[in-house]
């Protein structure tokens, strides 16, 4: 999980030591909404201006990051450096991820990031050739979905993680958001993990939905 450091009371998900150009908004109207803290960081990538916005809703302890572009809004629900959903617009997860990676890289180079381990619904299997990881997300006012991560153990130096999204949590991958693995190759490992997870009672299947067991 990523945090941005503030000089005030709230520790946000994306902790940034604020400087010129960093906008911090504190929404604190308790009579109309839960107390919410928001930090924003603006940067330029390939000639376009983007913002990374870190949000912490104090009342329900909800934390997430948003990547905001001219024509889209993308969300990293568990602040693990992976874009999980395009909430507004038609850009792909892969394109949004490239922008997000660049923004995080800039923050890292400026020593403005602190990482902590996110807590979420996760199932992990270490197989002979692959490290497989499945996360289930339950967005408000939206259907649950799965994020599937694959790391090949055959790459001994700097192994690359591939990430795919199952938008409907129906066992069928819909989109590769990160990495060079094809969706067909990812689906083979996804099927494998689902079979193992159901056998071990780590996953639950209800109708056509497969999710990490809470």
Instruction: Decide: pTM greater than 0.85.
Output: no
Q: Does residue 129 share a domain with residue 96?
A: no
Q: Where does residue 31 fall: left (phi above 0), alpha (psi -120 to 50 degrees), or beta otherwise?
A: alpha
Rg, Å, the chain Cα set = 18
Q: What is the pLDDT of residues 20-75, one digit of tens each?
A: 222 233 333 333 455 788 888 999 999 999 999 998 877 777 889 999 999 999 99
Count: domains in the chain: 2
Domain end (from 115, 143, 161): 115
Q: Does residue 131 share a domain with residue 205?
A: yes
Q: Does residue 106 share a domain with residue 195?
A: no
Q: Does residue 35 share a domain with residue 13?
A: yes
Domain end (from 100, 115, 130): 115
Pairing of the two strands 85-88 and 48-57:
unpaired
- State the residue range of the domain holding 148: 121-212
Q: Does residue 18 share a domain with residue 103?
A: yes
Q: Does residue 110 share a domain with residue 43?
A: yes
Q: Does residue 111 share a domain with residue 50?
A: yes
53: tokens are 């916005």
Rounded to whole angstroms, what are the CA distances from 77 to 19, 40, 49, 151, 198?
A: 26, 16, 22, 21, 25
Per-residue pLDDT of the chain (214 residues; tens, 9 = 90+): 554 544 333 333 333 333 222 223 333 333 345 578 888 899 999 999 999 999 887 777 788 999 999 999 999 999 999 999 999 998 999 999 999 999 999 988 988 776 766 666 799 999 999 999 999 998 877 899 999 999 998 876 667 899 999 999 999 999 999 999 999 999 999 999 999 999 999 999 999 999 999 8
pLDDT of residue 142: 85
């Amino acid at each position: 999980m990523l945090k941005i450091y503030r000089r005030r009371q709230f520790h946000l998900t994306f902790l940034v030591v604020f400087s010129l150009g960093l906008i911090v908004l504190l929404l604190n109207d308790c009579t109309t909404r839960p107390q919410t803290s928001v930090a924003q960081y603006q940067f330029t990538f390939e000639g376009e201006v983007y913002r990374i916005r870190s949000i912490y809703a104090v009342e329900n302890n909800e934390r997430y990051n948003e990547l905001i572009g001219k024509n889209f809004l993308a969300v990293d629900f568990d602040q693990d450096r992976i874009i999980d959903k395009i909430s507004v617009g038609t850009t792909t997860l892969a394109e949004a991820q490239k922008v997000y990676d660049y923004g995080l890289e800039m923050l890292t180079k400026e020593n403005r990031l602190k990482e902590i381990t996110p807590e979420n619904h996760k199932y992990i299997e270490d197989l002979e050739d692959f490290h497989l990881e499945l996360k289930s997300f339950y967005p408000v006012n939206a259907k649950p979905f799965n994020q599937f991560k694959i790391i090949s153990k055959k790459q001994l130096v700097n192994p690359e993680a591939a990430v795919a999204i199952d938008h409907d949590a129906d066992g069928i991958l819909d989109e590769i958001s990160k990495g060079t693995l094809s969706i067909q190759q990812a689906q083979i490992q996804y099927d494998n993990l689902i079979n193992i997870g159901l056998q071990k009672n780590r996953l639950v299947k209800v109708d056509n939905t497969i999710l990490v067991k809470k």
